Structure 1
Amino acid sequence: MENFQKEKVTPAQKPGLFRRLAALAVAAALALGLAACDVSGVVPGGSADVIPNPAASASTVDSVNAPFEMHFIDVGQALSVLIECDGQFMLYDGGNVDDGSLVVSYLQNQGVEGLEYVFCSHAHEDHVGGLAAALAYFPANHVYAPVTEASTKCFQDFVKYTQQQGLQVEVPAVGTTWQLGGATITQLGPVAQYSDTNDTSLVLRIDYGATSFLLTGDMEADAERDLVNSGANLKVDVLQVGHHGSSTSTSYVFLNAVLPEMGIISCGVNNKYGHPHEETLSILRDAGVDVYRTDLLGTITIGSDGQNYTVGTEHYATDAELNPTAPAASSTAQQAYIGNVNSKKFHLPTCPNLPAEKNQILFSSYDEAVAAGYTPCSTCIQ
């Protein structure tokens, strides 16, 4: 496993997404930004603020060896995340049914003997499928899902092995918090009822010291918007990019609320869905998010000491491979507009009359702004 040290960027150092998008909208500003960011010496899977860890750069390691670790297990076109803090473990999703033995083996290798919490983000097989195997092998204290029943055999097996432990699948409420060692887990979503199973995904924020993480399952744009409007604290360092990098997730509005340094995409090599989609990669690039992908890097492990975090990957991949989109791809394909929540007018990012950032709302299209009840600025939109 390759191992790199990532210095945490404080909120004061990190520019808002609006300002970054505005810069991308101006060709000269874009050119200056590219000239100022020389990535010729960047380590695999990183960006210019990722530097090699001298203690490990010449060797492979089994773990990032930190008091807090988040493992994005390479389960192909699926999702499974193991989290360890101070010797306690939780599992968020288990991949497909066929991934069950791989997940169990990985947990064994990490020294797992029991799980404090098991979360099924939602009832689709590529998230719940392998959880039955994990529950058949490891004792758990609590098991959670957004529903207690579903028609698929894989979900019914998940319920069966939960009940064999004398437990019931619990449906947690938004605002519920849990402790995992020194880490705090908070459920942020879903904040409404949805007919789309992806939007029912349990959204978890995890804080350890000054570092923060967001797990979103397959949450899509409708649930993202509702979550942003709920006022939840979404700003984190590391985002699990929703729905395997599909363009149905990771909307401009949501990404502006999260402003992560890193985006982790769990997807399969040459998967039939084309994940991650170019639109999503372009939006992440425009937002200055470092992309890490299991299809190219294998299992990705993030370790935190509460201040900084270390990223370990199984395989090598360059920045250009991880995010092959052109720097201005999304801004040329789709024009962003900035609304003023007070005046209800919307502007181009280059408008001289932009509101203060706290009064801004981002729209990904002209029609979206109009549908939200905003009118175009007469200065910048003719």
Structure 2
Amino acid sequence: MKRYFALLLTFLLAFSLYLPSNTQAEVVFNDVPTSHSQYGDIMYLLDTGVISSVSKNFGVNDIVTREEVAVMVAKAIRLDGTPRTTKFSDVPESNKNSGYIQSAVDAGIIYGTSDTTFAPNQKVTRGQMAAFIARAYDLPNGNTSFKDVPKGHFAYDAVRQLVAAGITSGYEDGTFKPGNNLTRAHISAFLARSMKYAGGEPTTPPTPSAPTTKEMQVHFIDVGQGDAILIESPNGETMLVDGGVKEAGDDLVAYLKSEKVSELDYVIATHPDADHIGGLIDVFAAYQVNNFVNSGKVHTTATYGELLTAVKNEGSKYIQPKIGDSINLDSSLKVQVLHVDPNAEENNDASIVLKVTYNNVSFLLTGDVGSQVESVIAAKFNVGSTILKAAHHGSSTSNSLSFLQKVKPQATIISYEKDNSYGHPHDEVVSNLKAVGSKIYSTAQDGTITVTTNGSIFNVDAKEFKVETTTSPEKPAPTPEPEPESKPQPTPTKPVEEVKSYKNCTELRKDYPNGVNSDHPAYAKKHDGDGDGWACEPPRK
């Protein structure tokens, strides 16, 4: 790669005469104010055409991928980006960045993960970034060492070169943190300084950064057979995801007060089942709620109606997100909506699924989605996460092995009530989690579980789940008493003796338009997503 240096130096020196000043206090991206520590570096990349301003946000805290880094470095040293056939099966010519990726590979800056794959969506670490930049630029040899980059480490020489060129100085505690994932803000800083060094511009060695010390906590609150999750962000913002059943409302409010929560920035109802929204009615009565995020799935129960009335009376901003949307809870976090479907046939599959990322630690909150939806999510997004909230209280209708193999959670929290009538968590799910090497924690065993993290490491204040024999998912569990709310009476169109097994509610409603109650031979628990003792009730129009 050194052979590019002389040509590059001449080009950059000439080109720099025509560059717009990067000192102009202009806010181009909403998430990059002039006070941001990487504002100047990001504006420099914008001025030189390495990045563009087609989006309102730059995504300063987003973790960059191999594809993104390859493109940025290739643009920085003016490699050919014409789309073309590559040697990698996962980078087709139709990929708009295929040319930049192949050029970066040909130049020896970045390699494929195998002879046939490039893994464009794989996250990039600080150590890998150092190696890429050292290959792209002619940097001096250095002699500064870091205690976490010992001799023999793949990035040992590269990191020392970056320090010698004034591109980085590591952290105050004498570490470089080569295994930490790289954000868009950080790659911008490294790359802009490298370009300036290559162009002969003076660079001031950066002050050593302090390691991240702010902590965030995620509380998986014990609300019995239900879900309630409190997120306290590094900068003090709060988000409550679901609230358990009505009967849990008082205890939920008491817990929030014990955590010194004064107001809630966001309350999210993943879907309208009573075991997820009931307790939120008391929360709205006790707290100021600034934003209410709802799946948009309409339900006919009185509980759902009461919740919407509480939201209206509170005056909260009503938000109905779309797949791919981000929730602006805290600038140090990325909160992304991986799934929501207000038109889902079943309430469970309408669930809002969130991925919350704080530097290297991420949480996947899956609501009650089923395994088919899990597959759809995994095909669209990188679902790999540090901590997983098991879907549907550990039911075998969710948490498929193929999905868990993609999530690869280090820890999984299952929220359910001990000796519940559904047999949660199902043995199959426990086996699947163990098969992927995840530690398991249970609210039924330990009560409320709190995960604390500084973005690099995390701690779970509970003991690992003790595996016990549970009700087999193949055996029907007793049906709990239905919620005392008005339901239409069934009008079966076929005699009982002709009742058959139905694959889904669409089929069942052809014979029983109003659905069936738990005493009917056609009733199946898999069709009763909200657990109210009535299967396949018609959606509200």
TM-score using structure 1 length: 0.64
Q: Which structure: greater strand fraction?
A: 1
Do the aligned residues in 2 keep the contact of 1:183 with 1:208 (CA within 8 Å)? yes
Deviation at 1:253, TM superposition (A): 2.0
Q: Which residue of 2 aligns with 1:249?
A: 398
Determine which of 332, 340, 347 is the counterpart of 1:190: 340
Q: Which residue of 1 aligns with 2:251?
A: 102
CA displacement 1:54-107 (0-9 Å, x = unmatched)? xxxxxxxxxxx9620000001111100000012111000000001111111100
- The residue correspondences of 1:1-382 to structure 2 (distance < 5 A) are 67-85=215-233, 86-147=235-296, 149-167=298-316, 169-181=318-330, 182-190=332-340, 193-229=343-379, 231-313=380-462, 317=463, 319=465, 321=466, 323-324=467-468
* Count of aligned residue pairs for this structure pair: 258
Deviation at 1:298, TM superposition (A): 0.8
Quote the Cα distance in structure 1 between the aligned partners of 2:352 and 2:263. 22
Per the alignment, in what secondary structure is the counterpart of residue 236 of structure 1? coil
Do the aligned residues in 2 keep the contact of 1:190 with 1:223 (CA within 8 Å)? no
Quote the Cα distance in structure 2 between the aligned partners of 1:236 and 1:162. 32
Quote the Cα distance in structure 1 between the aligned partners of 2:217 and 2:460. 10
Per the alignment, in what secondary structure is the counterpart of residue 307 of structure 1? coil
Do the aligned residues in 2 keep the contact of 1:159 with 1:169 (CA within 8 Å)? no
Quote the Cα distance in structure 1 between the aligned partners of 2:258 and 2:357. 25
Quote the Cα distance in structure 2 between the aligned partners of 1:75 and 1:212. 23
Per the alignment, in what secondary structure is the counterpart of residue 159 of structure 1? helix
Deviation at 1:169, TM superposition (A): 3.6
AA aligned opposite 2:217: E
Do the aligned residues in 2 keep the contact of 1:80 with 1:127 (CA within 8 Å)? yes
Per the alignment, in what secondary structure is the counterpart of residue 327 of structure 2? strand
AA aligned opposite 2:458: Y
Quote the Cα distance in structure 1 between the aligned partners of 2:387 and 2:293. 23
Deviation at 1:276, TM superposition (A): 0.2
Deviation at 1:305, TM superposition (A): 0.6
Specify whether residues 103 and 110 from structure 1 end up closer, same or farther in structure 2 by C-alpha distance, changes over 3 A only: same
The gaps in structure 1 that reach 5 residues or longer are 1-64, 326-382
Per the alignment, in what secondary structure is the counterpart of residue 178 of structure 1? coil
Deviation at 1:179, TM superposition (A): 2.9
Specify whether residues 149 and 195 from structure 1 end up closer, same or farther in structure 2 by C-alpha distance, changes over 3 A only: closer
Specify whether residues 153 and 211 from structure 1 end up closer, same or farther in structure 2 by C-alpha distance, changes over 3 A only: same
Quote the Cα distance in structure 2 between the aligned partners of 1:151 and 1:178. 28
Specify whether residues 192 and 141 from structure 1 end up closer, same or farther in structure 2 by C-alpha distance, changes over 3 A only: closer
Per the alignment, in what secondary structure is the counterpart of residue 71 of structure 1? strand
TM-score using structure 2 length: 0.46
AA aligned opposite 1:275: H
Deviation at 1:142, TM superposition (A): 0.9
Larger CA Rg, structure 1 vs 2: 2
Per the alignment, in what secondary structure is the counterpart of residue 164 of structure 1? helix
Quote the Cα distance in structure 2 between the aligned partners of 1:159 and 1:306. 35
AA aligned opposite 1:150: H
CA displacement 1:139-190 (0-9 Å, x = unmatched)? 1111011116421111111111110122354211111112333222110103
Per the alignment, in what secondary structure is the counterpart of residue 239 of structure 1? strand
Which structure's relative contact order is higher, taking Cα pairs within 8 Å and 6+ residues apart? Answer: 1
Do the aligned residues in 2 keep the contact of 1:259 with 1:287 (CA within 8 Å)? yes
Deviation at 1:242, TM superposition (A): 0.3
Quote the Cα distance in structure 1 between the aligned partners of 2:223 and 2:457. 27
Do the aligned residues in 1 keep the contact of 2:296 with 2:342 (CA within 8 Å)? no
AA aligned opposite 2:452: G
Deviation at 1:243, TM superposition (A): 0.3
Per the alignment, in what secondary structure is the counterpart of residue 434 of structure 2? helix
Quote the Cα distance in structure 1 between the aligned partners of 2:386 and 2:464. 21
Percent of paired sites with the same residue: 35
Specify whether residues 233 and 73 from structure 1 end up closer, same or farther in structure 2 by C-alpha distance, changes over 3 A only: same
Do the aligned residues in 1 keep the contact of 2:227 with 2:242 (CA within 8 Å)? yes
